[in-house]
Amino acid sequence: MKNFRDKMLEVRPEIAEREAEFPDKIDLAMELRALRDAADLSPEQVATLSELSLEDVQTCESLTGEMPEPDLVAAYRSAINKHSSLQT
């Protein structure tokens, strides 16, 4: 079974080229996207649950650019965790 990263590279091979330039950002973005996908949530749902703007959620999931502020990442993860705990 392919992991999320392998699936993304299959669909978007240019990501491999970007990894050299933004390795930490890409790792974080893929981790957060994998969490969101596992929770079966849309970006809009994460924004609502986390009380972040959709733009903030997109910044967290972006493969390029600056690293998001730690409080944004914490709010994103918290929303996923809350949602997941309610589903069990």
Question: In this predicted structure, what is the pLDDT of residue 69?
Answer: 96
Of the CATH numbers 1.10.260, 1.10.357, 1.20.120, 1.10.1760, which one belongs to the domain with range 4-87? 1.10.260
Of 32 and 12, more confident: 32
Segment 29-57 mean pLDDT: 96
All structural domains of the chain with their residue ranges:
4-87
Note the pLDDT tens digit of each residue in 26-38.
899 999 999 999 9
Other residues' Cβ atoms within 10 Å of the Cβ of residue 28: 19
Question: In this predicted structure, what is the pLDDT of residue 43?
Answer: 97
Question: In this predicted structure, what is the pLDDT of residue 1?
Answer: 61
Task: Write out the two tokens for 17.
Answer: 């080229």
Question: In this predicted structure, what is the pLDDT of residue 60?
Answer: 96
